[in-house]
Amino acid sequence: MPHGGAEGGAEPMTPAPNPAMRGLASRHELPREPGFHELPAGELEILRFGLARLQAGETLQLETHDCEALLVLLEATEEVRVAAGGRELRLPPRRSVFADGPAAVYAPAAVGLELRGPLLAGVFCAHAPHSGGEPYAILPDEVSTVQRGRGNFTRRVREILPPERPAARLLAGETLNPPGNWSSSPPHKHDRNAPPDEARLEEVYLFRVQPPQGFGLQHSYHAGGPSRTFAVEDLDVVAIPAGYHPVVAAPGYDLYYLWCLAGEGRELRWHPDPAHAWVDAD
């Protein structure tokens, strides 16, 4: 995602990859300074992510070339105007992801985005040179919220870019875990192109925590193979190329994550881990 117009862009600090753990989720801390900061190249094959943090009066231009893009507003103290393909799209203020519903802008390939601060936003891109169509805004009252799971794996899901909305490869939404609750649970994966049972979809999570000193846990594993578990804190980013990937919020802390998928098709076809599927059986 080439960019310009805002200060920043320092390389994120991430540990060197361990070849034995390839394919499992990885956690990243992007810089907190103003600017546009991207997930390191090579984490995923199809999906890319960047975090835009702009102060008042700063402008950011994103040229996505042959990639479609989705910008999701995380925070803004005033109305946000996004220029896309010769159009001006307006998004309402958002106090926080816990207080207000999401607003977003979708842009097909070859449509650049220009935005002006103050704001905090996540930007996803996926290679889709023939996406076509027009850029459009997604407003909070156009986003449906559903409850999934039961018991201590109940969570709320806001469907920002479901299959019904125009796009080529991207799917996106927000999940909110109450304190102590699990999501992406019972564990599931989506790393094989095996229709109609499973679709290969890479995924990125951006976490927020309330109060912000809290944390959650992200587990990542292959059945019968290696596993990895790490704490996720406010504004951490997790790349999920493959494997099962359940999440839990620490007691006392609300856990939110913005998620986006891209890969084979635009249907959410996931494979539950047979060892744990009984948890959700009727």
Domain count, the chain: 1
Residue 209 sits in which domain range? 3-280
CATH of the domain at 74: 2.60.120.10
Average pLDDT over residues 210-221: 98
DSSP string across the chain = --EESSS--PPPB-PPP-GGGTTS-EEEE---SSEEEEPPTTS-SSEEEEEEEE-TT-EEEE--TTEEEEEEEEEBSS-EEEEETTEEEEE--BS-TTTS---EEEE-TT--EEEESSEEEEEEEEE-TT--S--EEE-GGG-EEEEE--GGG-EEEEEEE-TTSS-SS-EEEEEEEPTT-EES-S-EE--S-BTTTB--EEEEEEEEEESTT--EEEEEE-TTS-EEEEEE-TTEEEEE-SSB--EEEPTT-EEEEEEEEEESSS----EE-TTTGGGG--
Q: What percent of the chain has pLDDT over 70?
A: 92
Residue 282: what pLDDT? 67
For 160-182, write each residue's pLDDT tens digit: 999 999 999 999 999 999 999 99
Average pLDDT, the chain: 92
